[in-house]
Amino acid sequence: MQTETITQTNIKQAVPFLWTTNMEASLRFYVDGLGFSMVEKWMPEGKIEWCLLKLGEAAIMLQEYREGLKPEGILGLGVSICFICADALGYYREVTARKILASEPFVGNNFWIFEVADPDGYRLNFESPTDVPEETRYSEWKQKTPNA
């Protein structure tokens, strides 16, 4: 089908767009805590209101709500963004060393998975493939594999 071929070759990347209530807090979390780099920004009134952040091949966009425009309720409720890593456990050790609160990694669907929540409550999962048995917790695995 011609339409499928054009669509498949035209789409380059999906970039989550997250609205934030405090850009400064979000940038501390994403840049200082998770290691993202800011590659684009928009500063219409002298402060960053939108930016594009990258980490490896992954990207996200952040935009701060203007006064009075934040919707009621919890931001991002029911949404998880999954980042596929070469080594989720190594990244877990890196971000927790930077004082980022993260869930204990566990194995699910043949992936090591850990989760963090950003300042607005968006859930971010970091995952890497593994052959460790399902539902294994990092602390249990580390006891059995001390050199890991």
Same domain, 43 and 94: no
Give the per-residue pLDDT at 4: 60
Rounded to an integer, the average pLDDT of 72-86 is 90
pLDDT above 90 as % of the chain: 77
Judge whether 126 and 112 are in contact, CB under 8 Å.
Answer: no
Same domain, 27 and 91: no
Same domain, 81 and 62: no
- 10 Å Cβ neighbour count for 87? 12
Same domain, 81 and 57: no
Angle at 16 between CA 15 and CA 21, to 5 degrees: 140
Provide the token pair at 14. 């999906």
3-state SS record for 18-63 = EEECCHHHHHHHHHHHCCCEEEEEECCCCCCCEEEEEECCEEEEEE
pLDDT digits (tens, 9 = 90+) for 15-43: 999 999 999 999 999 999 999 999 999 99
pTM of the model: 0.89
Q: How many domains does the chain have?
A: 2
